[in-house]
Structure 1
């Protein structure tokens, strides 16, 4: 992930964000310093996560879609094959074109 990359937040896609900055670390103090008040996790939860390397992502909300896009439609559009359990990259040309239409809208 690089600053400026687009993020789609899944359950169904209803929010789109843009990556500002990322950090990989397993040091709790680094995560807390990096995230500041922008995290939804308590320090105790972050400490458990830091048992292995953590990817922290700062992003800004770009847009909220009028109508959420369902998993079935995302699969049909080639955005994803299965529901991701973490961060995943859109690889199909159809999915990339769909993402571009959101950025242009």
Structure 2
């Protein structure tokens, strides 16, 4: 097991998978991706979602802060539900698979 800077334990396999993903991207596309995430306004797109939507976000995500992403999105998406995972970091679906899958299944079963 590997440890992250904040003390969370992450498997070597997950670390290797994220490393491979990062190394597989070209520098220019990776830069452009970051620019799009930080500069594109998706407000009108979010307002058009017309199906029940689950937004899952950790409250300790240091990459995409919950206040400016999930909490704003749930206000814009009609019929959206926000599930906040205390202590959850970025990559929640990979880091806390059982909790994420349980929340998703609960939402689907309604």
Higher helix share: 2
The bucket for the TM-score relative to the shorter chain is under 0.3
Report the TM-score when normalising by structure 1: 0.28
Higher strand share: 1
Report the TM-score when normalising by structure 2: 0.27
* Relative contact order, higher structure (CA 8 A, sep 6+): 1
